[in-house]
Structure 1
Amino acid sequence: MQGFFHGYAMNGIDAKNRVSVPSGYREVIEARSHARIIVLAPHEREPCLIGYDQAYSARLYEKLDRRFGDDFGPERDDAARRQFGATEQLGYDDNGRIVLSPMIKELGELDRLAFFIAAGDTFEIWNPNVLLEVKGASDPRLARIVRAQIEAKGGKA
Structure 2
Amino acid sequence: MARRFRGSEDVKVDAKGRVSIPAKFRRVFESCDPDWQAGKRAQLIIVFGMRDWKHLQLYTIQAMDEIDEGISQMPRGSAERNLLENLYHGHAEEAEIDGDGRLVLPQKLRERIGLTDSAFFISAGDSLKVWTPENYADEEQRLESLVPNFEPGADPLSLLATARAAEG
TM range (shorter): 0.7 to 0.9
1:59 counterpart = 2:66: yes
Q: Determine the structure 2 residue equivalent to 1:124.
A: 129
Shift of 1:61: 0.9
TM-score normalised to structure 2 length? 0.72
TM-score normalised to structure 1 length? 0.77
- CA distance in 1 between counterparts of 2:113 and 2:65 reads 23
Root mean square deviation of aligned Cα: 2.0
Q: Determine the structure 1 residue equivalent to 2:2.
A: 2
Q: Residue type of the partner of 1:4?
A: R
Of 35, 44, 57, which residue of structure 2 is paired with 1:38? Answer: 44
Of 90, 109, 113, which residue of structure 1 is paired with 2:114? Answer: 109
- CA distance in 2 between counterparts of 1:122 and 1:97 reads 17
**What does 1:1-157 correspond to in 2, within 5 Å?**
1-34=1-34, 35=36, 36-43=42-49, 46-66=53-73, 68=74, 71-73=75-77, 75=79, 76-136=81-141, 139=144
Count of aligned pairs: 136
Structure 1 segments of 4 or more deviating over 6 A? Answer: none
97 and 65 in structure 1: CA distance in 2 versus 1, 3 angstrom threshold: same
Q: Residue type of the partner of 1:8?
A: S
Structure 1 portions without partners, runs of 5+: 140-157
Higher radius of gyration, 1 or 2:
2
- CA distance in 2 between counterparts of 1:117 and 1:134 reads 11
Contact 2:4-2:125 within 8 A present in 1 as well: yes
Percentage identity across paired residues of the two chains: 26
